[in-house]
Amino acid sequence: MDQAHKELKRKIVTLQARPGERLDDISLAEELGLSRTPVREALFRLSSEGLVNVGPKGGFTVRPLDLVDIAELFEAHIVVARATARLLAARATEGSIEELARANTEVNEAIKAGSPAAISAANAHLHRLEALHARNEHLRSLAWPIHDQGQRLAYLSFGGDAGLAADLVSHFKRTCKDHEEMLAAVRDHDADAAEQIAARHVHLFRDRVVEFLQTRTVDGIELAGELPATPLVPHDS
């Protein structure tokens, strides 16, 4: 199942499987050289991660990109990110910090390489580790699906199939700054600083996604609904 899950997730977050596209488990099993059972298990797992919808008769589709749903995702993201940051700062061990530092280096290397797929994957991995090392299973179970869905939005808004967007230099400078400052706050076990940085970081990502969705179009992708006129995640005063 792990092989099927990894490959199908890659297809979804890199938009090879388009939002709203039907996923036929028989065809996918043939494509991957697997039986239907691990493919179906992987699709149900992806459903639990918020990337696949399961129909009433058991059919599978890639979760559509809905603007209201995206806005609500960021509402949840800001709440979970703040709680995660506080617990991470309080509970991180030296081993945790070393693993986070390595993951942060991978993000920086992906940014230098200029690959939207690598950047979105490395960034999601870093934030999943933060949730893991916060050491609260209930919170982790909320955080990981948010980062899985965020990985698809990151790939799209960073340039997607067309390659890295040219206007992202400032965004990635701020991203790297946030990551470095978060590591410092975690090393210092400063929960207040970690929470503030986490909130700022979610706002940065949300602003990029909203700006992209409001000003760009992507062939083969339809966005349902409308973004709220007033952001559902207000900036801190």
Q: For position 96, which CATH number holds?
A: 1.20.120.530
Q: Where are the alpha helices (DSSP H) in 92-164?
A: 94-113, 116-133, 137-157
Is 226's pLDDT higher than 80? no
Pair 127, 13 in one domain? no
Residue where one domain finishes, among candidates 62, 91, 112 = 62
Domain that holds residue 90: 66-217
221 pLDDT band (50/70/90 cuts)? Answer: confident
Neighbours of 56 (CB within 10 A): 5
Residue 237 lies in a domain: no
Structural contact between residues 70 and 153, judged by C-beta atoms closer than 8 angstroms: yes
Domain identity same for 88 and 45: no
Domain count, the chain: 2
Same-domain status, 135 and 74: yes
User: Based on the domain organization, do 35 and 127 belong to the same domain?
Assistant: no
Say which residue, 35 or 219, is predicted with more confidence: 35
Output the CA–CA distances (angstroms, integers) from residue 77 to 146, 198, 218, in the order listed: 7, 10, 25
Mean pLDDT of the residues in the chain: 90
Higher-confidence residue of 234 and 10: namely 10
Residues 147 and 195 in one domain: yes
Cα–Cα distance for residue pair 207/158, rounded to 1 Å: 12
What percentage of residues in the chain have a pLDDT greater than 90?
70
> Does residue 205 sit in helix, strand or coil?
helix
pLDDT digits (tens, 9 = 90+) for 100-146: 999 999 999 999 998 888 999 999 999 999 999 999 999 999 999 99
In this predicted structure, which of 3-17, 114-128, 211-225 has the lowest mean pLDDT?
A: 211-225
- For residues 78 and 199, is the Cβ–Cβ distance under 8 A? yes
For residues 84 and 99, membership in a common domain is answered with yes
DSSP 8-state symbol, 62: E
Look up the CATH number of the domain holding residue 48. 1.10.10.10
